[in-house]
Structure 1
Amino acid sequence: MNRKLKIIRAAAALFLIIVALPLLVAFKQQNSSKSLEEFCRTKVSGSINEILIQLKSAKTILETSKSIKSTKLVKSYSKARKAYKEIEFFIEYYSAFDAKFFINGPLVPKIELEISSEPFPPRGFQVIEEILFSDDKIDSEGLTKEYDLLIQKFEFLKEHYSTINIEENKLHDALQLQIVRIMCLTLNGYDCTINKESIKESAHAIAGMEAIMCFYKEKSTLTEPEENAYSRLTMAFKACRKELLKHPDSDTFDRLRFMIDFLNPLYIELQIFLKELQVKKSDLSYAVNFEVTSFFENESINRQCFSVYVHDSTALKEQAELGRLLFYDPVLSGNNKRACASCHNSSMAFTDAQDKSLSYNGSDKLTRNAPTLINAAYQKLFFHDGRQFNLEEQANSVFNNVHEMNTNEKEIVLKLKQSREYRELFSNAYKNTQDSSITAYSILKSLSEYIKTLESRSSKFDKYLRGTKTALTVEEKNGYNLFAGKALCGSCHFFPLFNGTVPPMFNDNEFEVIGTPERGDNKNIDPDRGRKHITGSSIHEHAFKTPSLRNIEYTAPYMHNGVYDNLDSVLVFYNRGGGVGLGLKVENQTLPFDSLGLSKKELNNIKSFLLTLSDTVGLTGKPNKLPRFENQRLNSRKIGGEY
């Protein structure tokens, strides 16, 4: 080889190293991103094809068979459900409305006021499940209708998903949210309430996630730390599926142990691997805080996400402390004698221990029970009937209610401006803004920031979740498993907040019709029409927002009307099947009518678990003094109100 040729080849090699090789790597990385999109699209399309095959097969059985063999229908249904659960993470993320209203929503009519005041009847898989697994004769006409609707919906989604942009970071978000969904909904009987296949379906959901993550197994650009993290993640996936398939019975499955020993570790390993990939985070904000690795930690749910003022996050500590003073100051009422604390006493978990709170006139009672304010920030709708959308609107409604505080924001602003101390406090909490001079906004926001500090996620139960194995007794652990399993309590009071804010997006509140009686004799239904006053819909006749069960030990009497003064009576009410089980006429009850069949021991275990949710330690109480006014008459007011 001549010297000139050697020089040319050496130059070419040098060019490859300096210029071409980085371009090839960049091209490979770019192609890798596209490959993930196509990899996911192929998986989703394959699952939808399987769903359509099974739905069409079932429809053919209904149309051609003279004697409907339910075993064949059940088999097709199970295969379709398996395929659906494997891509549930994707459909719930990219088509949340369709999932809720047409594919896999609960067996109750629903209303989306932003779309229509007309109720959406239950549709999809859960309706089919109810027909297939009930003891009644199979309703072939009803089944055919549901199959037609589902087929139409999945054919639309198949076409829709063939063109949408599937971004890697959004896909990562969907996978993380799916683990939360399994933990909070699937394992708690949110679906599969009739055939009780939730444990097996959780395994299918995890297998679907694992199938997507397999993309990274063949990605040759993984670094050593990424490979190690992926290896641990793969082991966590397999361990979860193995444990679920080993114990498929819903009533006896140890959900608590599974969440602690298997599912939360999977969540942690997924978080670690995704952080190792260093993919740019999506610009969307979620209630689930992906910056906190374990879902059991106190900050794993971002309470600021529930506020209407999400981006107004400066001087929150100062605003909350100002809000505490306002909360206990009766100057916010029309007669300077009632405070927010009048009905929300810190020594009673921010309730008042009354069946119904005292009215403004000091002699009559209001129409409903005062709910706890602890964890009140973790909601999207407020009051028992959900008539307000945020804490600020809720407080303003109380001010303007003639039976509660009997005042208005304009009057409150004028009074507070008469205090030099309040003027200074507002100026400090709202520096360099127009609200530093005391405005309706700054008053309401300060109150909301204080209420956000009333947080309870450090109870005995939470400590057990975080690794203190001695925190719970055998009875308490059994109680949780009954609560989430056989008793179906967890299908309305969602883990881990145990209220009706629906995980994992936490952007919706559920309302239930349980048939609460008017008095303890259980003879008549309470006349309060509940959410019907707000929506005007018959499906919301006697419907009320699902309340929090945290600190239930301190929040008696119970129900929206305070009809039951002890927890045992509440448990018996639910065990008997709510109002219908008591013999009351409740045409639209959403609670199962039949008795849950719980023994006295099982009821006691559930009660024992509920008492582990007590946690008021560290929550601030009354301030030592209130700001003074130039008007000496106002300085005689009582901290926390007179009544």
Structure 2
Amino acid sequence: MKRALLLLTSALVLIWASCQRTGPSAATSEPAPTPAGQVLGQYHRHVAQFDSVVAVLQRAVATGQPAARQRRAFLVARLAWKRVELLAEYYSPSTAKALNGPALGEVEEFDQQQRVRAPEGLQVLETYFYPALYAPARRPEVLEQLALVHSSLLSLRHAADGLTLTDRHVFDAARLEVFRVMTLGLTGFDTPASPGAVAEAAAALTTVQATVAPYQRRLPAPAARRLAARFGAALGYLRRHPDAARFDRLTFLARYAEPLSRQLWATQQALGIPAFPETRALRADAPSLFAPEAFEPAAFAPSTTARPVLAQVALGRQLFFDPVLSGNSSRSCASCHQPARAFTDGQARSVAFGGRGAVARNAPTLLNAALQRTQFHDGRVSFLEDQAAAVLANPTEMHGSMAAAARLLTRSPAYRAAFARAFAAAPAAPVQEAQLKAALAAYLRSLVRLNSPFDQYLRGDTTALGPAAQRGANVFLGKAKCATCHFLPLFNGTVPPGFERTENEVLGTLAAPNRLRLDADPGRAGATGIQWQAHAFKTPTLRNISLTAPYMHQGTYRTLAEVVEFYNQGGGAGRGLTVPNQTLPPDPLHLTPREKQDLIVFLHSLTDTTGLRRETPRQLPTFPTELAHLNQRPVGGRY
């Protein structure tokens, strides 16, 4: 291990040195390129260097060189990728995925033949070199993967030839790369088996430093020194602590990466380079990943051009707690999503409509539900508006309909007036189904809570986490590999730093804690018909998890200790079940008793219930005399 780390460090020093040789030659008579032009030139050189080191790796494999030399060539290739990653991910995300996507098969949802598309790229190659070197008989497979990498590299070079960069694009891509290091790189998402996560983070940040270096001469001297100091501190920490197994990720995030992010944003502002104005999940003007208001719920809405007004949120809040929406005017949304329980109900599966049995799945928290690309456990709808309509229509949940609810609400003068205010409609206009859905969704998008003790620690409050929570954070981010599926900072399956998709995972969840039998719920396959997605479920948020027991889609586990042990054993496949499409690695984590307990303490630090006691309205709008019986309905309905 020490030898491998020394080799990585040596390679990183060479990469750093080459990044410094970016300025024009003193002997040239051509005008100096613009800063953006210099960045583009660096990128072309980095892509060419990446191609060269892949060729070295190909020769090492083809000629059967010693294992240490092949591994070194592979690690150098990964470091070369990290120099390319910043602009490759920004401008050529499909090619970037082909080069460095997860080593998991996929089935495209539009593919009626349900063909499993084999993975390719560096993460697949990693499985041949780690934890043990491939058998000689598998050399043709390795060479085939290398040929695929070379093909993707050709695509990357062709795309690079057509690029034109602006200052705004340069800083946008640079800041996103820092966020990528924080959320994917250091957590081991793209190095699940090899030891190079820390060295790769250093290579990526060195590239960010080289990317913004052409702009530093435009800065006032104090600002340039502050930026250089932030880069120096972050890179220095990474180089002093190269061992990924022992790396203190929490300290790096809080003391180095977050301050560097803020300084990059301050630099962009000092240069007068504006952020992009479009609506994004992670706001383009967010100073850092954990900054308050960094996320924009409207980016997950059907239309991102109009944000909900306060009147729509207030109306949606009343509707959420009003049982008049249900088929018997007895059950409300809040019946199964109670504020005191972080908008869950404490049941394995909620009581079905009319008290007859139970619904199909566990009631998930609605806190931060707005910050994901799909809704329901199986991800069968994309928007909160459609989720609200589906719940209303479900005979075991609300047993009503949007149309019936809109007609009934129209008969209430108080509700008609509230809808008119919220949607700038005529006072006597009937309530529209679209308005009802929009109001409920507006309220749900107001339920964003991102100010837990963990967030406060990342923002500089070193008293927010105790020693056990700090240790647990490093278990979560490191050995336990939790953050490779529950991505920072949302702790759900919405993939950073673009947050454009929410992932599903197959865990091999048991039907009962002590019964070695796979739960029968088809999960995502029930929505898509794709058998490769059998038992796949959306990765839920872990925020407020201390309040949302029982856990899993059917409430199998009553305690966090049970959940942690399930993952520690490698899920269903790790327990011995046959789950050919399990995406959770089946290898045991070998967590110690203290690591398990620290992990649970950390999970408790993700709680933020700010203002939840004030969510329940004191009263509901009234109905006229002919519907006077409805005026006795309780706020929140009955359960």
- Flag whether TM exceeds 0.5 (same fold): yes
Describe the shift of the 1:520–1:495 C-alpha distance in structure 2 as closer, same or farther (beyond 3 A).
Answer: same
Residue identity matched to 2:226: R
Describe the shift of the 1:556–1:170 C-alpha distance in structure 2 as closer, same or farther (beyond 3 A).
Answer: same
* 2:416–2:428 contact (8 Å) kept in structure 1: no
Unaligned runs of 5+ in 1: 1-30
Q: Over residues 8-49 of structure 1, what are the superposed CA-to-partner deviations in whole Å (9 max), with x where a residue is unaligned? A: xxxxxxxxxxxxxxxxxxxxxxx87x6234312221111111
Q: Over residues 486-505 of structure 1, what are the superposed CA-to-partner deviations in whole Å (9 max), with x where a residue is unaligned? A: 11001111111111111111
Q: How does 1:450-465 map to 2 (within 5 A)?
A: 450-465=443-458
Q: In the alignment, which of 286, 290, 298 is matched to residue 304 of structure 1? A: 298
Residue 285 of structure 1 corresponds to 279
- CA distance, structure 1, for counterparts of residue 423 and residue 230 of structure 2: 48
Q: How many residues align?
A: 603
- CA distance, structure 2, for counterparts of residue 321 and residue 543 of structure 1: 35
Residue 505 of structure 1 corresponds to 498
Residue 141 of structure 1 corresponds to 140
- CA distance, structure 2, for counterparts of residue 154 and residue 296 of structure 1: 34
Most deviating of 434-443 and 421-430: 434-443
- CA distance, structure 1, for counterparts of residue 158 and residue 333 of structure 2: 54
Residue 6 of structure 1 corresponds to none
3-state secondary structure, aligned to 2:391:
helix
1:108 and 2:104 are equivalent in the alignment: yes
Describe the shift of the 1:641–1:202 C-alpha distance in structure 2 as closer, same or farther (beyond 3 A).
Answer: same
Query: How far apart are residue 122 of structure 1 and its match?
Result: 1.8
Residue 268 of structure 1 corresponds to 262
Residue identity matched to 2:210: A
Residue 475 of structure 2 corresponds to 482
- CA distance, structure 1, for counterparts of residue 252 and residue 531 of structure 2: 40
Query: How far apart are residue 243 of structure 1 and its match?
Result: 0.5
Residue 93 of structure 1 corresponds to 90
Q: In the alignment, which of 522, 526, 545 is matched to residue 529 of structure 1? A: 522
Q: Over residues 161-209 of structure 1, what are the superposed CA-to-partner deviations in whole Å (9 max), with x where a residue is unaligned? A: 1122222211211111111111111121211110131111100000011
Residue 71 of structure 1 corresponds to 68
Q: How does 1:151-166 map to 2 (within 5 A)?
A: 151-166=150-165
Residue identity matched to 2:623: F
Most deviating of 579-588 and 503-512: 579-588
3-state secondary structure, aligned to 2:532:
helix
* 1:250–1:486 contact (8 Å) kept in structure 2: no
Query: How far apart are residue 68 of structure 1 and its match?
Result: 4.5
Most deviating of 110-119 and 367-376: 110-119
Query: How far apart are residue 258 of structure 1 and its match?
Result: 0.9
Query: How far apart are residue 135 of structure 1 and its match?
Result: 2.6
3-state secondary structure, aligned to 1:524:
strand
Residue 190 of structure 1 corresponds to 189
Residue 633 of structure 1 corresponds to 629
Structure whose CA Rg is larger: 1
3-state secondary structure, aligned to 1:368:
coil
- CA distance, structure 2, for counterparts of residue 491 and residue 223 of structure 1: 37
1:582 and 2:578 are equivalent in the alignment: no
Most deviating of 333-342 and 67-76: 67-76
- CA distance, structure 1, for counterparts of residue 235 and residue 246 of structure 2: 17
Describe the shift of the 1:87–1:114 C-alpha distance in structure 2 as closer, same or farther (beyond 3 A).
Answer: farther
Q: Over residues 422-445 of structure 1, what are the superposed CA-to-partner deviations in whole Å (9 max), with x where a residue is unaligned? A: 011111111158996421121111
- CA distance, structure 2, for counterparts of residue 81 and residue 611 of structure 1: 36
Residue 248 of structure 1 corresponds to 242
Residue 4 of structure 1 corresponds to none
Q: Over residues 81-138 of structure 1, what are the superposed CA-to-partner deviations in whole Å (9 max), with x where a residue is unaligned? A: 11110121111110112222x1111122234546886443221010001111133633
* 1:264–1:294 contact (8 Å) kept in structure 2: yes
Q: Over residues 328-364 of structure 1, what are the superposed CA-to-partner deviations in whole Å (9 max), with x where a residue is unaligned? A: 1111111111111111011111001111111124121
- CA distance, structure 2, for counterparts of residue 600 and residue 435 of structure 1: 64
Q: In the alignment, which of 385, 398, 404 is matched to residue 405 of structure 1? A: 398
3-state secondary structure, aligned to 1:523:
strand
The share of aligned pairs that are identical, in percent, is 35
3-state secondary structure, aligned to 1:188:
coil
Residue identity matched to 1:276: A
Residue 38 of structure 1 corresponds to 37
Residue 11 of structure 2 corresponds to none
Q: How does 1:317-356 map to 2 (within 5 A)?
A: 317-356=310-349
Query: How far apart are residue 151 of structure 1 and its match?
Result: 0.3
Residue 10 of structure 2 corresponds to none
Describe the shift of the 1:485–1:500 C-alpha distance in structure 2 as closer, same or farther (beyond 3 A).
Answer: same
1:544 and 2:537 are equivalent in the alignment: yes
Query: How far apart are residue 251 of structure 1 and its match?
Result: 2.1
Q: TM-score, normalised by structure 1?
A: 0.90
Coordinate RMSD, CA, aligned: 1.9
Residue 15 of structure 1 corresponds to none
Most deviating of 266-275 and 114-123: 114-123
Q: In the alignment, which of 365, 374, 385 is matched to residue 367 of structure 2? A: 374
Q: Over residues 403-451 of structure 1, what are the superposed CA-to-partner deviations in whole Å (9 max), with x where a residue is unaligned? A: 2112221111100001000011111111158996421121111111111
* 1:375–1:454 contact (8 Å) kept in structure 2: yes
1:295 and 2:289 are equivalent in the alignment: yes
Residue 8 of structure 1 corresponds to none
- CA distance, structure 1, for counterparts of residue 427 and residue 330 of structure 2: 29
Residue 8 of structure 2 corresponds to none
Residue 216 of structure 1 corresponds to 215
Residue identity matched to 2:346: A
* 1:41–1:162 contact (8 Å) kept in structure 2: no
* 2:341–2:547 contact (8 Å) kept in structure 1: yes
